Structure 1
Amino acid sequence: MASQQTFARGALGANYNENLTWIDHRELSRVGARWIRGFIDMHQIDSLQPEQDSNIKALFQVMEAGFNTILSLKWAYADRDFPAVGSPEHTDELECLNCLLEIVMGKVDILVIGNEPFIETKQTGEQLNVFYETVADAVIDFRKAHNDLRTPTQLYMGALNRLDLPAKRTPAIVRMLGFIASRPELDGVDLHLHMPTLAGHRAMLNYALSQIRPDQRFLATEFSMIWHWKKHMNDAASTDFCKQYGFPPGTKVCEVISTTIQKPVPYAQWEDFLKHEPWYLECKSFMGETIRLYRATERLEVATYSCCPMRNRKAPILASDTPWMLNGLFAPSTVQLEQDGSRHENFPWAEEFRRLQRSEQ
């Protein structure tokens, strides 16, 4: 059942994306996380028996353990057009949604209508807006019909990306933000703040919050400096690090990472690698800086940080790849497991995450 306590405004939790089955309660305890976020692909679940989905089962297990939960709903339309309202395909979408709402509404704390809709589709104009507006209205109508008043699931819509860039503030984006503002039943907008600079985080927040009602809030279910990390994948790795660990002079950052993927290293070596890279160290306080920025708006509901990036990746990292493994609270598959089989904490994010939990008190 959705938490009956007052919402922890400005909370910081753990994000598992589509990998809710990876949730490890020991890891959550180590970093003090109480909020869990993940998403499900509405085209991958059994439309008649969504409770049989492994990610849904994992979500209910964390609810039973007392965690607060955020569930985002993803509709992938990258390879097809959105269905016309009233068509059999559109009716099927709403029936599948209704079956899922039967088991999650009033139980998850927050439901997010969408998961990066402007990235997961080939149509980014009016067709997208109409689809998500009809879906949102169906969710709102379901909650009203079931009189979910004592333990209401909060409703958000999104998640939106890179609104720091004026070119991304398209008519369709403006329409979605206007729709969110027009519905009193919607609590706010979900944002994915993957940025190369802190100024980008600030610019996106300023824009998004100016477009919705003053009483509405925002989620940051994903945030990072991933585009800053990516710019440095083709850099030469630290000369001192290469000399100490036997890498040829001039070895690229991406090549060091690829080598450790193929043959995981002791945690001390992974930490040394990160500490020798100035582009990484210069942003070691970004999590605290961004969370303070988000909380200073007094409109942050919950932010969640990655617990699952590239945990099982085996393919090498190319200079053009996005190095998500640098982002996680726990060390990725580049690092040998601890003797008890658990994962090492990733430098410096796990300790910073713990510190920010303490600052909520």
Structure 2
Amino acid sequence: MPDKSLNNNAVEYASNQDASMKFLSLGANFNEEIADIDNDLLENAGVKWVRGFVNINRLFLNYTDERGIWGVRSQAITNFQPIIPFINAKNTATENGRKVKLIFSLKLQFKNRNMGVPEPGSKGMDLMMKAIEEFLLAKNLGREIAVLVLGNEPMWETPLEDVADYEYFLNALIDSVGAWKKKNEWDFKTYIGALNRVSEVRQNAIGNKVLEIAKNNNKIDGLDIHMHVDDILEIEDDLKFIREDMGITKSLICTEFSIVRLFNQHSNDLLGEAFTTKFGYPENTRIFQWLNSAMVAAQSGTPISAAEFEYGFKTRDWYPDQWFFDFIKAFKKYDVDIATYRLQSHVRNPLRLLDKNSAMWSVNAPYNGELLGYFENGFPNKNPLVIPEYETVLKVH
């Protein structure tokens, strides 16, 4: 089980929790990496939820430019093995004996192969509905999940010129899901989303349409959001926009959040003389180059220390200490029911080394084998930037 000792900041956080504030459940997000779910690690981490997604368009539809969507890859659905460890995650017991609950998102990537949103009443729309229904029936996924999210960042994955078709499609999918739930006696909640950076892209037609449907369609239980910020002061912006400006009172969940955009701004910064002297790196080493060295060391079984990793960020004037707690505080203020965060990062073979323009997703994971290697028991080493806050929130909530 995780070390339940709390650092000073964590003790202060725990003691300041107001019993009248909204309860928040925390869980582990795996995105498409659901084949990598390790039940032992889930139990060790103590999470209450597990979230993953699949790309329906890319994996399960036949498409050509000439014919459009012309078929469902039913055999691919039947043989889709990554869904098995995802469903098995439900068998993981939390500390209080309750089972982990599952959130599943359908990634509907209409920009995939320039597919576009199928027109109302078209064969392509019928085939998309058929593929989604078959997938929910396969391994009886619809029975196992507690939450189904229809869509994953549609504002980035849907052509803006298809907004009218997308509105029709999403409402039709909502109706179909309702019918499937009744027919198969499924009891999961239905959310739509997930919307990212809504306060920054207020004029995005697809995003606004999702907000409108979330607010007005009584068959929708709530909205899923993603929050990847570059300024710690912006954490509340999306939540305030949704709750106050848009007037959405339904349940909110947040299945992805991080300060990755802030990390990205500084990936090409010099480590500085104090760091390079202390840890023995060349004078002009930059942050992304140092992280590449950490990946190589982790792969070779001689990882850098947690102390070095922590020093590399927490000594920088731009790094917002305790940012994880800031997210949680905002979630509670604006009544977010569930938040899932990327749990782990594996050593990759072959290594995916960074350059100065790479997104620094590898920094985020609280269990971080990719950058910090592994314990003797096989669990990834803990990320000191995240793990104290992560484990504290799990304990308190």
Structure 2-normalised TM-score?
Answer: 0.81
**Any idea what the Cα deviations from partners look like across 1:239-282, whole Å, max 9, x if unmatched?**
23212332111211111112222333745535413323334883
CA contact 1:47–1:99 (8 Å) conserved in 2? yes
Q: Secondary structure of the residue that 2:340 maps to in structure 1?
A: strand
**Any idea what the Cα deviations from partners look like across 1:11-36, whole Å, max 9, x if unmatched?**
01000000111112222223211210
1:260 to 262, 277, 294: 294
2:188 to 128, 153, 158: 153
Mapped to 2, the partners of 1:334 and 1:356 lie a distance apart of 23
Identity %: 20
Q: Which amino acid aligns with 1:244?
A: K
Instruction: Give the corresponding residue for 2:142.
Output: 105
**Any idea what the Cα deviations from partners look like across 1:296-321, whole Å, max 9, x if unmatched?**
22x21210010244642712211111
2:390 to 340, 353, 358: 353
Instruction: Give the corresponding residue for 1:27.
Output: 41
Q: Which amino acid aligns with 2:152?
A: N
Mapped to 2, the partners of 1:238 and 1:270 lie a distance apart of 19
Matched, 1:276 2:303: no
Instruction: Give the corresponding residue for 1:141.
Output: 179
Aligned-pair RMSD on alpha carbons?
A: 2.3
Pairwise CA distance, 1:156 = 0.6
Q: Which amino acid aligns with 2:135?
A: L
CA contact 1:42–1:73 (8 Å) conserved in 2? yes
Matches within 5 A, 1:268-347: 268-277=304-313, 278-279=315-316, 282-297=319-334, 299-309=335-345, 311-312=347-348, 314-347=351-384
Mapped to 2, the partners of 1:280 and 1:93 lie a distance apart of 49
CA contact 2:160–2:206 (8 Å) conserved in 1? no
Pairwise CA distance, 1:129 = 2.8
Structure 1-normalised TM-score?
Answer: 0.88
CA contact 1:94–1:135 (8 Å) conserved in 2? yes
State the 4+ residue runs in structure 1 displaced beyond 6 angstroms: none
Mapped to 2, the partners of 1:147 and 1:343 lie a distance apart of 39
User: Cα 1:252–1:270, aligned 2, differ >3 Å: closer, same or farther?
Assistant: farther
Which structure's residues are more often helix, by fraction?
A: 2
**Farther off after superposition, 270-279 or 301-310:** 270-279
1:77 to 105, 110, 113: 110
CA contact 2:372–2:382 (8 Å) conserved in 1? no
Instruction: Give the corresponding residue for 1:164.
Output: 199
Mapped to 2, the partners of 1:359 and 1:128 lie a distance apart of 40
1:57 to 84, 97, 101: 84
Pairwise CA distance, 1:71 = 0.3
Structure 1: state its 5+ residue gaps.
Answer: 1-7
Matches within 5 A, 1:148-227: 148=186, 152-165=187-200, 167-210=201-244, 211=246, 213-214=248-249, 216-227=250-261
User: Cα 1:26–1:310, aligned 2, differ >3 Å: closer, same or farther?
Assistant: closer
**Any idea what the Cα deviations from partners look like across 1:83-105, whole Å, max 9, x if unmatched?**
11222221111111112233222
2:151 to 114, 124, 127: 114
Structure 2: state its 5+ residue gaps.
Answer: 1-21, 61-72, 93-98
Q: Which amino acid aligns with 2:42?
A: L
Q: Which amino acid aligns with 1:358?
A: K
CA contact 1:229–1:279 (8 Å) conserved in 2? no
Mapped to 1, the partners of 2:317 and 2:260 lie a distance apart of 11
**Farther off after superposition, 15-24 or 196-205:** 196-205
